[in-house]
């Protein structure tokens, strides 16, 4: 006897992440369609098409971020490469690094720089990911509510109640809905079609914005590389090598 919308929302809470948010959107759409008296099958088909577009959006963003993310992980091994290179050249850089005071200073400074670079890179990658996991969802819900034939105020009330009940991220859709509904009243055009068109536009904008952020990420990742990783490479890979060479030279003379 439990509500289907509540059952879907309960499963969504267990999933979490973007998938869980999509299922919460489905629960909200089910509730809105049921309360508005909208044709549920048609609404679910339209919502499924919307979620397919959102899934493609997230896939595109993951592909675009794969290259910059791999670069961030690869440069983290530069200091280790420096130490191995010194050992291959026949210098006891590991002893200098771990058993001498200058080596400890270099190791501590390099480790601090690498930790800062790792956190910096993670922050940049996290900032480049999608900000709104379900762009246009609230417009889709409003379109479903309008399909039921009720008034604009009733449609808004149903969407507000569903968004609050299922803790949906509302984003900046409220202003867009107001503009679309005002245009619909002035032009005498069915509001549901305009709302769905605006939702599609929001998804296209989200895809373009995500691709732009991913392209920018490839450049901004060079900042922690120059500020943190390269100095850490010098401290861990080069300075101990120079200290070892100088020590060997002093002992010879």
- Render pLDDT for 183-222 as a digit per residue (tens, 0 to 9): 887 877 778 888 888 888 887 887 788 778 777 877 787 7
Neighbour count for residue 107 (Cβ, 10 Å): 19
List the Cα angle 131/134/135 in 5-degree steps: 75
Residues 6+ apart with CB under 8 A from 221: 68, 71, 72, 121, 124
For residues 253 and 244, what is the distance between their CA atoms, to the nearest angstrom? 14
Closest CA to 214 of 117, 123, 122, 130: 130
What's the whole-model pTM score? 0.66
What are the tens digits of pLDDT across the range 23-49?
888 888 888 888 888 887 877 777 777
For residues 77 and 71, what is the distance between their CA atoms, to the nearest angstrom? 11
For residues 122 and 169, what is the distance between their CA atoms, to the nearest angstrom? 24
Residues 93, 96, 102, 104: is their CA dihedral positive or negative?
Answer: positive
Neighbour count for residue 161 (Cβ, 10 Å): 14
């Amino acid at each position: 006897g439990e509500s289907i919308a509540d059952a879907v929302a309960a499963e969504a809470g267990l999933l979490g992440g973007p998938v869980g948010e999509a299922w919460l959107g489905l629960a909200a759409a089910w509730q809105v369609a049921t309360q508005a008296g909208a044709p549920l099958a048609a609404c679910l088909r339209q919502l499924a098409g919307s979620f397919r577009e959102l899934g493609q959006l997230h896939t595109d963003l993951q592909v675009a971020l794969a290259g910059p993310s791999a670069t961030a992980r690869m440069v983290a091994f530069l200091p280790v490469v420096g130490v191995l290179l010194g050992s291959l050249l026949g210098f006891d850089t590991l002893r200098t690094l771990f058993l001498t005071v200058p080596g400890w200073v270099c190791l501590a400074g390099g480790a601090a720089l690498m930790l800062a670079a790792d956190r910096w890179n993670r922050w940049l990658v996290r900032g480049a990911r999608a900000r709104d996991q379900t762009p246009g969802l609230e417009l889709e819900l409003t379109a479903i509510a309008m399909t039921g034939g009720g008034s604009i105020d009733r449609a808004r009330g149903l969407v507000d109640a569903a968004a609050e009940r299922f803790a949906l991220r509302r984003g900046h859709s409220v202003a867009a809905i107001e503009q679309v509904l005002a245009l619909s009243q002035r032009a005498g055009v069915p509001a549901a079609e305009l709302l769905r068109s605006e939702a599609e536009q929001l998804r296209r904008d989200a895809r373009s914005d995500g691709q732009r952020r991913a392209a920018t990420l490839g450049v901004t990742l060079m900042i922690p590389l120059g500020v943190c990783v390269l100095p850490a490479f010098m401290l861990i890979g080069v300075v101990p090598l120079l200290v070892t060479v100088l020590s060997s030279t002093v002992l010879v003379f």
